[in-house]
Amino acid sequence: MSATLSQEVRDRAATLREEIDGHNYRYYVLDEPSVPDAEYDRLLRELQALESEYPELVTPDSPTQRVGAEPLAAFEPVRHETPMLSLGNAFSNEEVEQFHARALKTLETEHIDYVAEPKLDGVAMSLRYRDGLLERAATRGDGQTGENVTSNARTIDAIPLRLRGAGWPEELEVRGEVYMPLAGFEEYNRRMAETEGKALVNPRNAASGSLRQLDPQLTAQRPLAFFAYSVAGQSAISDSHFEILEQLREWGFPVNPLVKRVRDAEGCIAYYEEIGAMRDDLAYDIDGVVFKVESQREQETLGFVSRAPRWAIAQKFPAQEEITQLLDIDIQVGRTGALTPVARLEPVFVGGVTVTNATLHNIDEIRRKDVRVGDWVVVRRAGDVIPEVARVVLERREGRPKEFQMPETCPVCGSDVERVEGEAVSRCTGGLVCKAQRKQSLMHFASRRAMDIEGLGSKLIDQLVENDLVHSVADLYRLEKEQLMALERMGEKSADNLVEQLEKSKTPPLDRLLYALGIREVGEVTATSLARHFESLERLAAASEDDLIEVPDVGPIVAQHVHHFFQQPENLEVIEALEQAGVQWQALESIGGDQPLEGQTWVLTGALSVPRARAKQWLESLGAKVAGSVSGNTTTLVAGEAAGSKLAKAEKLGVEVLDEAALFELVRSHGIDPD
Ligand code: IVH
């Protein structure tokens, strides 16, 4: 027997439901989280407690009722009254132009407005609402018949159980994509790795696999989300597809904020470029964009061919993941002696380029992913990121290939390999004896952001090291024209040029020299902090670990590496030899104690023509904090080329946005030369 139900309790339950729905709406639809998770959970628990005390309060659309349905024996088939169609694909701008030209001809018009949308890589879903309540959710299946996955769909918080506002038709069928956001995918797999559970293969499979669980409790544990992209059949809501989407948003459906009206093929192609540039910054995988003729009247005139509409087309991006075979595992030795296992692959076209090598990171990663020579592997290349072996397709493994072992001696110099307790990396102990380490340190020393020695590339460095002309970076400055000319493929002019470039590089700012020396854990930003703090190489070399920790951004590990570096006689010899050869560092131009941006928080996004680390330094030297993401605290966003979601967010929050030119002007006005 439940206790008697007072009006007060009834009202409280209704208020709680409304509040929870409101938070869901702000979180999923408006993308503006309004309360911390803990507060949300508290409201939900209070409602759960009330409902368990007074079961008659429970309604099917209560947010407590997302989970709870019994596991099924099988999914029931569902016939789609309006078939769920697929889309034709365009793989080039020309194909988009042809699609547009055909539509112009049929419609006998000169311009067409389209709605352009990101094409999410998930699973299509049909959601039927009756009198504003979710009645049935179904997968696409073959387009005519899908599966009834209502209990599973109900567990997805982004799918409204009850519509908001008013004005919806008695029966409404909304279609959209269920997907797994990348953060959720990664977090889930991290958890599985810890508990030795089964990892998800990729976010797309994860979404479809999660929806096809017979036990809704399992689906509920998967971090799924949803974007609505259409209404089934012709809709009386509006003639405009864009307005239909806006209406869906008001009724409580998340609609992708990147959806946009565009005009003609040019507008479509520009949108494809725009979304392509932000693809790697998005919180979910997309495999292309979709263009839909905006007017339903025009859609009807255009009609269908077989199972795809003539009024919509998908323009695909190059795939970011492909499957290929792992031919071998090689070991590369880096500047600090780190041994990196590298996968040699059967060439495969992925992310717009042909990939033959991919990093395997380190032995722990190889073990975790259980990668073995001969396996079929998923290669991933997102944007400019180095291609990596993401995972093994275990189902395709043949026989029982051997586990890979890291070598015990360096494959280049034969020195012992050591692995420090608790570190994933194995290192060659050969130091400058090891030709691989020597070559890599020289490459680093000469690189653009270090000493910037033009013309000293990897081929030439190979020759210099192989011919024993250069042992340490200081030897570079002892090279003579005649020695260089004796090298293969080196003419007099190139030799002259190189000598000249070496001469030119002899007066680096102190921070660049520090960076060029290749001290472990000292990147450009730390190098500048150190240079600013100590103002001279001698003072830095004499600093204790305690002195070093005083420097902003320097923690105990960096302090230890820096201190250790200057304790090694061979490093001091190199520095002395550099000085003897005429290398003379320059003091950093003092910005003066002026901190005009003090108290401000800046964010950098998009592509800038200078390294982001440098722009960050300018701002920090003027007193600003530089953060990684836009929030209510952000003062200013610097948006470079193809800025993506951060720019959108800044605009939404009304944060000041500067372009690169404006940033340059600002720093110039404070005495920093950005060029
Ligand atoms: S419209 C007739 N819009 O792509 C129009 N589809 O091959 C049919 N998809 O299975 C779909 N994002 O799951 C449309 N913004 C979007 C989409 C989208 C992803 C998927 C959808 C469908 C497939 C079409």
Domain limits of the chain?
A: 7-65, 77-316, 322-406, 431-580, 601-669
**DSSP class of residue 473?**
G
Taking the C-alpha atoms of residue 295 and residue 404, their distance in angstroms, rounded to an integer, is: 59
Whole-number Cα distances in Å, 216 to 28, 177, 205, 220, 492: 21, 18, 17, 6, 75
| Ligand 1 centroid to residue 87 C-alpha, Å | 7
Cβ–ligand 1 contact at 80 (below 6 Å)? no
Query: Tens of pLDDT along 73-94?
Result: 889 999 999 999 899 999 899 9
Q: Is the pLDDT of residue 3 over 70?
A: no
Return phi, psi of residue 262, to 5°.
Answer: -135, 165
Residue from 290, 291, 292, 300 to probe ligand 1 pocket by mutation (most atoms less than 8 Å from CB): 290
What pLDDT band is residue 70 in, cutting at 50, 70 and 90? Answer: confident
CB count in 10 Å sphere of residue 286:
24
Q: State which ligand 1 atom lies nearest to the alpha carbon of 177.
A: 13
**DSSP class of residue 630?**
-
Output the average pLDDT for the chain. 91
Determine the 3-state secondary structure of 44 from DSSP.
helix
Structure tokens at 173: 């069928």
Q: Is the pLDDT of residue 673 over 80?
A: no
Compute the C-alpha angle 291/227/250, nearest 5°. 100
431-580 matches 7-65 in CATH topology: no
Q: Residue 376 forms beta bridges with which residues?
A: 325
| Residue range 322-406 in CATH 1.10.760.10 | no
Q: Which residue has its alpha carbon closest to ligand 1 atom 14?
A: 229
Q: Once rounded to an integer, what is the mean pLDDT over residues 327-353? A: 92
Contacts with 75 (C-beta within 8 Å, 6 or more apart), sequence order = 147, 148, 149, 212, 214
Residue from 89, 140, 229, 275 to probe ligand 1 pocket by mutation (most atoms less than 8 Å from CB): 229
The secondary structure of 507-526 as a DSSP string is S-BHHHHHHHTT-TT--HHH
| Ligand 1 centroid to residue 286 C-alpha, Å | 11
Cβ–ligand 1 contact at 229 (below 6 Å)? yes
Return phi, psi of residue 288, to 5°.
Answer: 170, -165
Residue from 84, 87, 175 to probe ligand 1 pocket by mutation (most atoms less than 8 Å from CB): 87
pLDDT over 70 for what percent of the chain?
98
Cβ–ligand 1 contact at 262 (below 6 Å)? no
| pLDDT given for residue 612 in this prediction | 80
Residue type for position 248: L
CATH architecture of the domain with range 7-65? Orthogonal Bundle (1.10)
Q: Which CATH class is domain 431-580?
A: mainly alpha
CATH architecture of the domain with range 77-316? 2-Layer Sandwich (3.30)
| pLDDT given for residue 1 in this prediction | 47
| pLDDT given for residue 192 in this prediction | 85
Name the residue among 578, 592, 593 with its Cα closest to residue 508. Answer: 578
| Ligand 1 centroid to residue 119 C-alpha, Å | 7
Cβ–ligand 1 contact at 253 (below 6 Å)? no
Query: Tens of pLDDT along 543-590?
Result: 999 999 999 879 999 999 999 999 999 899 999 999 999 999 998 764
Give 167-172 contacts, CB < 8 A, sequence gap 24+: 168/129, 168/132, 168/251, 169/236, 170/130, 170/131, 171/128, 171/129, 171/130, 172/128, 172/129, 172/231
Phi-psi category of residue 290: left, alpha or beta, with phi > 0 → left and psi -120 to 50 → alpha: beta
What pLDDT band is residue 5 in, cutting at 50, 70 and 90? Answer: confident
Q: Once rounded to an integer, what is the mean pLDDT over residues 212-235? A: 92
Q: Which residue has its alpha carbon closest to ligand 1 atom 6?
A: 119
Catalytic site residue 119? yes
Q: Once rounded to an integer, what is the mean pLDDT over residues 289-318? A: 93
- For tokens 């001809």, the residue is 105
Looking at domain 601-669, what is its CATH homologous superfamily?
A: BRCT domain (3.40.50.10190)
Q: Once rounded to an integer, what is the mean pLDDT over residues 643-651? A: 85
